[in-house]
Amino acid sequence: GETFLVTAGPTREPFDPVRFITNHSSGKMGYAVAIMARRRGARVILISGPSSLPPPMDVQLVAVSSAREMRDAVMRHLDAATVVVKAAAVADYRPAVQARQKLKKKPGPMAIELERNPDIIAEIGANKNGRIIVGFAMETEDLLENARAKLETKNMDLIVANDLQEAGAGFQNETNVIRIIDREGSIESLPLMSKMEAANRILDRIKCLLMAKT
């Protein structure tokens, strides 16, 4: 009876018709959450940035490219969602100007001015309306402090934190090492496991929150 809105993958922020700014996200963690939520019986809307992963079976897939496209797709489907899992690695910044033609190589350095992208999860948190909101934090330092701050300022119920420098965690891997932090500050530290199993552990925590609401 629940509808999950899951975001996954990177975004691409073009600065000319040929090139763009992006990150190393494969989408594997978000796709794993979408697949496992569907297997548990939820309706799932998966909003995905560019990814080479096959579309999950029996999941509504919405393909986007840029952060602004992802924001618009999330807001378009938000009213249907009872649970939001924001696993996408959305670019914080985009080029302020997108050239109409390919930028040609010239002597010396080239500067590209950047401007902020929409903060999608902060916008969702400000319009929570009883939804359960789960975010992700990937860090290279001060993991728990940064994750807790993000949880609080963006009004999430849970945040899933992982350290990019930890073996087996992070982008592209089939595995992950996660810590699940709740609003009370408790931390569930999990060992190295497949992203599918990590998705199941996250869903176990979401199920507890859903049961507490009834």
Active site residues: 23
Separation of alpha carbons 123 and 73, rounded Å:
13
What stretches of the chain show up as alpha helix (H) in DSSP? 28-39, 67-77, 120-126, 143-153, 195-213
- Tell me the chain's radius of gyration from C-alpha atoms: 17
Separation of alpha carbons 122 and 20, rounded Å:
25
Q: Tell me the backbone φ, ψ of residue 138, rounded to 5 degrees.
A: -110, 125
Tell me the residue length of the chain: 214
- Residue 107 is given by DSSP the state S
Residue 41, exposed/middle/buried by CB under 10 A (0-12, 13-18, 19+)?
Answer: exposed
Tokens of 149: 């701050």
Alpha-carbon torsion 95, 101, 103, 106, what sign?
negative
- 68, 92 Cβ separation under 8 angstroms: no
Tokens of 206: 């979401």
- 170, 140 Cβ separation under 8 angstroms: no
